[in-house]
Structure 1
Amino acid sequence: MIPEKSARVTELETRLKAFMAEHIYPNEARLFREAEELGPFATYPVMEELKPKARTAGLWNLFLPDSDKGAGLSNLEYGHLCEIMGRSLLAPEVFNCNAPDTGNMEVIERYGREEDKERWLKPLLAGEIRSCFAMTEPAVASSDATNIQAEITRDGDDYVINAHKWYTTGASNPATKICIFMGKTDPGNPDRHKQQSMILVPMDTPGITVTRSLPVFGYYGVPDRASEVVFENVRVPAENILLGEGRGFEIAQGRLGPGRIHHCMRLIGLAERTLEDMIDRALQRVAFGKSVADQGVTRERIAEARIMIDQCRLLTLHAAHKMDTVGNKEARAEIAMIKIAVPNMACQVTDWAIQVFGGGGTGNDFGTAMSYAIARVLRLADGPDEVHRDQLARMEIKKRKGINHPGWTRMETKRGLPPQS
């Protein structure tokens, strides 16, 4: 049973929707224009103009659960607000609620030293700097994170890092000053899940090169600034290691649970807005003598889209409620389910919208192409569908193995079925 929205969440929703209407939606075209004209290695003026307005409006750092550094909302409470922000690709960063900064801030708050919090968390919470997260590598299948080959080697009071990373979100942003880096400190450990560690790496450390910005379906810089980064003999103090050597997977699980649910709630907002745009377009266009909205295939798709969006919203809110009540570990099946269901839903809804928009839906005029690009990439980010399906299936099989059932032949008899010859 999902609890009703609190009065506080309802009030924040009202303020957030008003801010979106006044400041976010009218500036979306400007964001895309600035991103195209200035490129992925620039600061976009529209972002910097809107952030102080969001902070003044009290719509800042809403994501941090159970923390005195943010709004102190639960995962469930934040989920309702995250959906609203997800309606626009401009919005999350304006409210300081964008990936990967949200996950990185949670990691530093949970696992960083007081010095780390002062040096990195404080300016991140203030929106004065940005961060990136370096995990995926081009040379290995990074969906199995034990494959990661990045080297973190102890040398006296320092660690020396050598690696080739890509899809390092946020690395090309000139405001990005700190990287959370995942690599191997103990490659010979027989437990493959204790070979990895995470370490804080200042981006101005000698030996770091952001070699290029990576396009996502041809889009550079919006909204994630995926980048390729080379680390060559990068030397950082040993105290920058997070939680200790061999704890990388433990940190990753703590980081990715909330991150996955944030992605899903934002995608639900994006899908909801896409459906609205699809209906509006269908009402405006006439084909074969009647409105596109009156075509049977369009109505069927609108109905299916409504069902799929609402199903995913309820599943995601249920996962958030379970995270709040029994913890991320106990909610891992629900988190896996939403990470599979929501991006696939958003891809399908957006694909149907593109069909309604026609050729224009494949371009940049209506936002449908960019929406599809984001939805499609999230079938890979934070673990591909196949990994989550495998994990979910393993959990289901394990539950059945733990039941002392009498076996299939006796079950047939119990259910009144004739025995098999």
Structure 2
Amino acid sequence: MLYPMSPKVAELKRKLESFMDRHIYPNEERFYREAEELGPWKVYPVVEELKPLARAEGLWNLFLPESNHGAGLTNLEYAPLCEVTGRSHLAPEVFNCSAPDTGNMEVLERYGSEKDKERWLKPLLAGEIRSCFAMTEPAVASSDATNIESSIVRDGDHYVINGRKWYTTNATDPRCKICIFMGKTDPDNPDRHKQQSMILVPMDTPGVDVKRPLPVFGFYGVPDRASEVVFTDVRVPKENMLLGEGRGFEIAQGRLGPGRIHHCMRLIGLAERTLEKMCRRVRSRVAFGKPVSEQTVTQERIAEARIMIEQARLLTLNAAFAMDTVGNKVAKAEIAMIKVAVPNMACQIIDWAIQAHGGGGTSNDFGLTQAYATARLLRLADGPDEVHRNQIARFELKKYSNT
């Protein structure tokens, strides 16, 4: 292997795979059923039942680097473990490694006060509460985050917040207690990247109104609890400001780098599991006198899928290595490349798997429609493909600025 696993990581991976076999895969059908029957406003009992089991086996907060609260793994070490959890929609939250809580916990650990850490980070690390991240807005093209119009206005010892957000993951979850909100504190600043700030907003603050859940390809609660939230004259103490006024983009870059790579790691696991389903399906079905697995078009797609997964994995591990060695800021190009490559890879492989399953592939029976919803969503979440491609091109062109 180009990036060999340490004994510590290999042992954690073995334990994770064992837990997945014993507890996650056997409960997936129940998880999807609870999500459908209970809806996005409720807690799914299967998740709460499995979380204590994962924590008891030491499979908890594995994403946190250099922390007494987590496994102390680097991004490169966490990558194969995150891939394992990505094989199932049920798994990440069971191990307390799901978005947006992971990114929010990292923000609180880096930029929160000791009071914030005690009130919000501690119960998040324990899996007792959940959180949300309010950035995207329906009224503007949020692919350009400088467009965000929500306001954060200082009023004595408080800030007053107004804005309408959507795709605010987790907001409908009754366990969601804290929101990290991004808005403008200095809309007239000539530097558009210093107009924004991030602030902590308890979800029970007067004026916070969770309007509705937003389905992703018809799914509520799976792959996530996307929501629309309106903030009307919401008052929070000035101490809730993170890092300082005008530092929102700085925080966002620190937050989104790890978040993007975690999404890609999980998607590789989802693509691997999808390919497994595809291979089993085509070996068990006969069409036109021979197994579907012997049809040339099927073999070509399986071969291409394996090549695409291996390419995506190496690209992702390279990005993780760069983040660990030179930092997120220097590794911008590597992070942008995987954010484009991996969701597109997963979308294509899932589409082939749906085709191989025939009409049944479009139902919810095989988990492929849920998988496609996740992969397609991630071509938009944390920045659409077009933004990342433009960024990659600028990095490339900059190499030739003096020629």
Residue 2 (structure 1) shift: 4.5
What stretches of structure 1 move > 4 A for 4+ residues in a row? Answer: none
Distance in 1 separating the partners of 2:278 and 2:304: 13
Letter in 2 for 1:310: E
Match of 1:240 in 2: 240
Structure 2 counterpart of 1:416:
none
Q: How does 1:46-125 map to 2 (within 5 A)?
A: 46-125=46-125
Partner of 2:177: 177
Which structure 1 segments of 5+ residues have no match? 406-421
Query: C-alpha deviations, 1:293-328, integer Å up to 9, x for none?
Result: 000000000000000000000000010011001111
The question of whether the paired residues in 2 share the 8 Å contact of 1:130 and 1:170 is answered with yes
The CA distance in 1 between the partners of 2:161 and 2:62, in whole Å, is 34
* Amino acid aligned to 2:148: I
Which secondary structure state, in structure 2, belongs to the residue aligned with residue 400 of structure 1? Answer: coil
Kindly report the root-mean-square deviation, in angstroms, between the aligned alpha carbons of the 2 structures. Answer: 0.8
Look up the match of 1:419: none
Alignment of 1:142-153 (within 5 A): 142-153=142-153
Q: Distance in 2 between matches of 1:159 and 1:190?
A: 22
Structure whose alpha-carbon radius of gyration is higher = 1
The answer to whether residue 13 in structure 2 is matched with residue 13 in structure 1 is yes
Aligned amino acid, residue 37 of structure 1: E
Aligned: 1:388 with 2:394: no
- Structure 1 residue 67 displacement after superposition: 1.4
Amino acid at match of 1:32: Y
Q: Once the 2 structures are TM-superposed, how far is the Cα of residue 3 of structure 1 from its aligned partner?
A: 3.5
> In structure 2, what residue type is equivalent to 1:339?
K
User: Can you list the C-alpha shifts for 1:225-246, whole angstroms capped at 9, x where unaligned?
Assistant: 0000000000000110000000
1:203 and 2:203 equivalent? yes
Residues 399-418 of structure 1: pairs in structure 2 closer than 5 A = 399-402=399-402, 405=403
Matches of 1:299 and 1:128, distance apart in 2: 47
Deviations 1:372-418 (A, max 9, x none): 1100000000000000000010000011114xx4xxxxxxxxxxxxx
Residue number in structure 2 paired with 1:271 = 271
* Structure-2 separation of matches of 1:261 and 1:65: 14
Cα deviation per residue 1:113-170 (whole Å; 9 max; x = unaligned)? 1100010000000000000000000000000000000010000000000000000001
Determine the C-alpha separation between the residues in 2 that align with 1:253 and 1:67.
Answer: 20
Separation in 1, partners of 2:345, 2:180: 31
Query: Aligned to 2:172, what secondary structure does the other structure show?
Result: coil
Q: Give, in whole Å, the separation in 2 of the partners of 1:39 and 1:371.
A: 18
**Partner SS, residue 104 of structure 2:** helix
CA contact (8 A) 1:86 1:92 kept: yes
SS at match of 1:253: helix
Displacement of 1:23 in angstroms is: 0.2
Could you tell me which amino acid in structure 1 is paired with residue 142 of structure 2? Answer: S
**Is residue 133 from structure 1 mapped to residue 136 from structure 2 by the alignment?**
no
Q: TM-score, normalised by structure 1?
A: 0.95
Which residue in 2 is equivalent to 1:313? 313
Q: Are 2:223 and 2:373, in contact at CA under 8 Å, matched by a contact in 1?
A: no
How far apart, CA to CA, are the structure 1 residues paired with 2:190 and 2:330?
Answer: 27
2:257–2:328 CA contact under 8 A, matched in 1: yes
- Residue by residue over 1:70-101, the C-alpha shift from the partner in whole angstroms, topping out at 9 and shown as x without a partner, is 11000000011000000000000000000000
Write the distance in 1 (CA, Å) between the matches of 2:102 and 2:249.
18
- Which amino acid is the alignment partner of residue 232 of structure 2? E
The structural deviation recorded for 1:52 is 0.1
SS of equivalent to 1:5: coil
Instruction: Decide whether the 8 Å contact of 2:170 with 2:226 is kept in 1.
Output: yes
User: Helix, strand or coil for the counterpart of 2:186?
Assistant: coil
| Distance in structure 1 (CA, Å) of the matches to 2:49 and 2:132 | 22
What amino acid does structure 1 have at the position aligned with 2:346? A
Q: Distance in 2 between matches of 1:193 and 1:95?
A: 35
Write the distance in 1 (CA, Å) between the matches of 2:16 and 2:316: 20
Aligned pair count reads: 403
Distance 1:274 1:235 in 2: 46
User: 1:340·1:385 contact (CA, 8 Å) conserved in 2?
Assistant: yes
Instruction: Give me the whole-angstrom Cα distance separating, in 2, the residues matched to 1:77 and 1:61.
Output: 14
> What amino acid is aligned across from residue 205 of structure 2 in structure 1?
T
Deviation for aligned residue 1:330: 1.0
Instruction: Give the Cα separation in 1 of the matches to 2:223 and 2:347.
Output: 17
Find the aligned partners of 2:126 and 2:74 in 1 and give their Cα distance: 21
CA distance in 2: counterparts of 1:80 and 1:364, whole angstroms: 27
SS of equivalent to 2:399: helix
Residue 43 of structure 1 aligns with which residue? 43
In the other structure, the counterpart of 2:324 is: 324
- In the superposition, the TM-score normalised over structure 2's length comes to 0.99
Identity over aligned residues, as a percent? 76
Q: Is the 8 A contact 1:170 1:227 kept in 2?
A: yes
Deviation at 1:66, TM superposition (A): 1.5
Please name the residue that 1:287 is paired with: 287
Deviation at 1:291, TM superposition (A): 0.4
CA distance in 2, matches of 1:50, 1:222: 17
Preserved contact between residue 105 and residue 124 of structure 1 (Cα < 8 Å): yes
Query: What's the CA shift for 1:223?
Result: 3.0
Q: Distance in 1 between matches of 2:247 and 2:191?
A: 12
Unaligned segments of structure 2, at least 5 residues? none
Residues 161-172 of structure 1: pairs in structure 2 closer than 5 A: 161-172=161-172
CA–CA separation in structure 2 for the residues paired with 1:320 and 1:166: 30
Task: Give 2:159's aligned residue.
Answer: 159
- Assess if the C-alpha contact under 8 Å between 1:2 and 1:321 holds in 2: no
What code does the residue aligned with 1:366 have? Answer: F
> AA paired with 1:85?
T
